[in-house]
Amino acid sequence: MHAMQYEITLPADYDMDVIRHRVASKGHLLDAFPGLGFKAYLMRERGRDGGSPVNQYAPFYVWNTAAGMHSFLWGPGFQGLSDDFGRPVVQHWPVLAYEEQAAPRGTARAAVRRRQRISEAARLPQVADELAEEARRLMVEEGAVSALAAVDPRTWEAVHFSLWEHEAPEGLGDVFQVLHLSTPEREQLRTGRQW
């Protein structure tokens, strides 16, 4: 499994209804995309969403297959986004652990992303266990939908990502609104440790 995200930071006076309209009119296009576990269409507004310093459109993907991810990146959907906003840097991380509620009661309304540098002195087996445990621990929180931990071994950066049925708990990281959730192969995502 691969996690992927790009961020499009917009001017402070940008009309974020443009992003809402874009997602409302195009979000359904990935509702059946092969290889995609889920795509969370995320947005944060300056001064809202946990005190966001920026206006930003920042979708987050979890891919079941590398072929699905490549099909998207080299296909017309990503090219259309690049044509409209410029080609963004795409971050991606191999997923270390993934957890989800067996039967979420509602849809995701908020997402939280936190990045963490892994120090040179850290013992990697212990770090991996701690990251997986944090994803498991979040699933006992009221309103948690799913959580994952992933690591970019090029930069040794871990990313923690979680979806919530209600407003996100404070202090966990960057908070985003979920405008739409495409889940074509969510039931095929393997839960637990990925190693």
> What angle is formed at CA 49 by the lines to CA 44 and CA 50, rounded to 5 degrees?
135
Total Cβ atoms within 10 A of residue 26: 14
pLDDT, residue 1, reads 97
pLDDT tens digits for range 84-118? 999 999 999 999 999 998 766 668 999 999 999 99
Nearest-angstrom CA–CA distance, 85 and 20 = 15
pLDDT tens digits for range 165-190? 998 887 779 999 999 999 999 999 99
Percent of the chain with pLDDT over 70: 98
Residue 11: how many CA atoms within 13 Å on its side-chain side? Answer: 5
SS3 176: strand
47 or 117, greater pLDDT: 117
Reported confidence tier of residue 161, pLDDT bands at 50, 70, 90: very high
Nearest-angstrom CA–CA distance, 185 and 189 = 7
pTM (2 decimals)?
A: 0.95
